[in-house]
A and B are shown apart, each in its own frame.
Chain A
Amino acid sequence: MPSDTQPPLLELEKLRKAFPGTLANDDVDLVINPGEIHALLGENGAGKSTLVKMIYGVLRPDAGAIRWHGESVDLPNPRAARRRGIGMVFQHFSLFEALSAAENIALSLDDAPPMDTLTQRARELSERYGLPLDPHAMVGDLSVGERQRIEIVRCLLQEPELLILDEPTSVLTPQEAEQLFKTLEQLRADGKSILYISHRLQEVQRLCDNATVLRGGKVVGHCKPAEESAASLATLMVGSELPEVAHEEALESGAVLLDVRALTRPAATPFAVALQDVYLQGRSGRILGIAGVAGNGQGELFEVLSGEVLTEQPLCIKMRNKAIGNLGINERRKLGAAFVPEERLGHGAVPNMSLIDNALLSRHRSDGGELVGITGRVKRGKLRKLAARIVESMDVRCSGTEQPAGALSGGNLQKYIIARELDRKPKVLVVNQPTWGVDAGAALRIRNALVQLARDGSAVVVISQDLEELLQISDDVSVMHDGKLSFPMPVAEANPENIGLLMGGSEANAGGNA
């Protein structure tokens, strides 16, 4: 909506970008006016990142025009974009943990002023916009929310007219997110514009003036989020009505299949989190959700549960009444456990290996002599069939099982990895971030599969930063903070407020009296 008097701040006209095999952006139009918070909505793979990278000068469009203050501009690199007044806060921060906040800021500026001036200006900005920040604090000691503030402050120091935020709340507690919204509203009041990328509809409705929705690289609609319902926005994003996760009441508490008691693990590196006195029970027929802000020991807990790291006291972890603390991951798999790590590429799957080889990754021991003979020979034929079965069971979109895992989209690869584990019908499943960076359709499918597994009598432990997801599928919820796990509460009693407080560290009771 360009106004009559003044050209819009940013106008994209028929922007197009193709990559080998895909048209990532197909004639995308977008208009952002001064003092507007504009949402860019879309599923993973809809083309949001490509579009934003073109605005920030990381990629160059194949065709179309970018107009800034009504004037057509060429942005060959991010430096040129910054000079025009475009700033960006990425989803994954690029900060040096061993340096202070101010030093990190100085490193990233194109023309850094002297340290004193810089510290002074950073202080002013952080006060003005409600971004409490100690310039001398070591980044390694800061929470994710605080690190994000550094990123925002270092963008604001360049005095941008347009600030791009990529999924900013995905790493925040609900309370931290609320604080971020206040900051953004203050920025808007100062006449700055914000391009806000998200797939969380509630916050978009709460915050954004206008929205552009992308699907499959095309703009499928411009709207005012406040005038839409969450359901209508979701339909626009996904292209069809999404059914809800079917979640019936769980059985009364079933047998304890996974029993963790007084588990302690010292921090492996200066930047790792120590696990302190963790109690956890996975019960047959139930899903235990573990909430928490990233980096509070979830990864460390997963490694100990999976057996990638062994504990010194074997009795700390029992699976189906057998002490397993000192058993490796394959021994645990043989007892009926399955694991899905957070990172898909390079942990749950090897990117440059085919789906067939990746089927073998977690199953070469657990499947007895089915896939590997006594001589160590891999049975290719059976492996091939297994890969095909996995692909089919979760409708993994790929051009064949010979395709390397790294060529699949995030959602499809995650479906493949989860299906690979579910195919064994595990009695205990521990999964870390089941739907991180996964499109809505795949996420729904994965969540339903997890619920189904639990209803069939398995114990499922889901570690996730997505609180909505946990409230949707869990039967009980615990919160991880600073290496401690809170006493589980039934999901009926859990809500974003009380979980959010625990995520922020208040009244996190160390362990419990399990």
Chain B
Amino acid sequence: MALELVKRPSPSRLFAALSPFIAFALTLLAGALLFKIQGVPPLAGLYTYFVEPLTETWSLHELAIKAAPLILIAVGLAVCFLSNNWNIGAEGQFILGGIFGSALPVLYPELSNNTTLPVMLLMGAAGGALFGLIPAFLKVKFNANEILTSLMLVYVAQLLLDWLVRGPWRNPAGFGFPQTRAFDELARLPAIDNMAGRAHWGIAFALIAALALWWLLRSTRSGFEIRVIGASPRAGAFAGFSSKRLTLFAFALSGGLAGLAGIVEVSGTIGQLQPSISPGYGFTAIIVAFLGRLNPAGIVAAGTVLALTYLGGEAAQMSLGLSDKAVRVFQGLLLFFVLATDTLIHYQLRRSGDTHGA
């Protein structure tokens, strides 16, 4: 007697709305269990992870710094996922954004002036968009699976960055450390309130992007196009929409936003290029997109929650001596529970052969 999933005739709207919360609650429960197994008091562990970072001004600033790239990337990914384009390579587009945007301050530090920062941001977005267009082009032209191509390009991007900072772009006055020169003040994205904490204008970009895409998806023909093609490509063709064009658009947009997040991270948070510029933002943003139900408003909330797991992870590492891998475990649990609750909203589990309530 095997188990099988059967589609529910009408999924519950209430549970569809509740599912992110249920998933989060289940993650906390599973997390508490993990703490227990590790010999950490579960409640203290959860407190360190999810509450402590919210109690101080400086840590709220850190939260904004971590939430900004997650939200920027995830709203772009939402457009991809809604239109059935599975861009798994935002991490690579993020890195390419960082590289493109850094070209100016690294290669021409002497040109520094007031236009430097805007040019860097634009180049970062362009770099991410171009890199995102590679899997889109391969999909449109050769029907290559974009999940594989976009994912594999992440490794290309990581190795390219590694090579640059160890080779041609290494700081000549940097004692051989694999880093570029530190950016000039004019090439740095400034903090919003220098006195209170480190948070820079990246979070503002993220909120503006979320607002813009919320409007796009909700009120425009382009948003309609995205939803129609995502729901049914044939109906999309009947409406005269081109799914190939949309694939290119969705990848360019999400790549561009990931690239912008990349250069924002480099110029705002780090201040130079180094072998690693992302603690997996591009992958975590996939969780953010789904936890936020592919809705920009939800993504802002989900981005904050996931940013919290990063901060909590650092805190737990320091005060509880937990491995830094615990962060990934929490994020993985969260994605697992989101997908599980979503599946159970649309399907019910039953023993095969039993036909009740079909």
Contacts and interface: CB of A to CB of B under 8 A. Distances in A.
B232 A347 contact: yes
A122 interface: no
A328 interface: yes
Interface in B190-241: 219-222, 224, 227-228, 231-232, 234-235, 237-240
Contact of B228 (A57, A339, A361): A361
Given A20-B10, A347-B232, A364 B358 contact: no
Interface string A39-79: 00000000000000000011110000000000000001101
23 contacts: A20-B10, A58-B355, A58-B358, A60-B355, A60-B356, A76-B353, A76-B354, A341-B238, A343-B234, A346-B232, A348-B238, A350-B227, A351-B231, A353-B228, A357-B227, A361-B228, A361-B238, A362-B239, A364-B221, A365-B240, A376-B221, A376-B222, A378-B220
Contacts of A77: 353-355
A351 B230 CA distance: 12
Contacts of B239: 329, 361-362, 364
Contacts of B356: 60
B321 interface: no
Contacts of A350: 227-228, 231-232, 235
Contacts of A357: 224, 227
Given A350-B228, A360-B224, A308 B9 contact: no
Interface string B6-22: 00011000000000000
Contacts of A79: 353
Given A364-B224, A378-B219, A378-B224, A308 B238 contact: yes
B238 A347 contact: yes
Interface of A: 19-20, 57-60, 76-77, 79, 306-308, 328-330, 333, 339, 341, 343, 346-353, 357, 360-362, 364-365, 372, 375-378, 380
Contacts of A353: 227-228, 231
Interface in B334-358: 353-356, 358
B9 A19 contact: yes
Nearest to B9: A20
B346 to A, nearest CB: 11
A347 B221 contact: no
Contacts of A352: 231
Contact of A362 (B220, B238, B354): B238
A412 B270 CA distance: 60
Interface string B85-123: 000000000000000000000000000000000000000
Contact of A59 (B231, B235, B354, B358): B358
A57 B355 CA distance: 8
Contacts of A19: 9
Contacts of A76: 353-355
B232 A351 contact: yes
A306 B222 CA distance: 22
Contacts of B224: 357, 360, 364, 378
A306 B238 contact: yes
A362 B228 CA distance: 11
A329 B240 contact: yes
A332 to B, nearest CB: 9
A348 B238 CA distance: 7
Contact of B234 (A347, A360, A380): A347
Given A59-B358, A350-B232, A329 B221 contact: no
A458 to B, nearest CB: 20
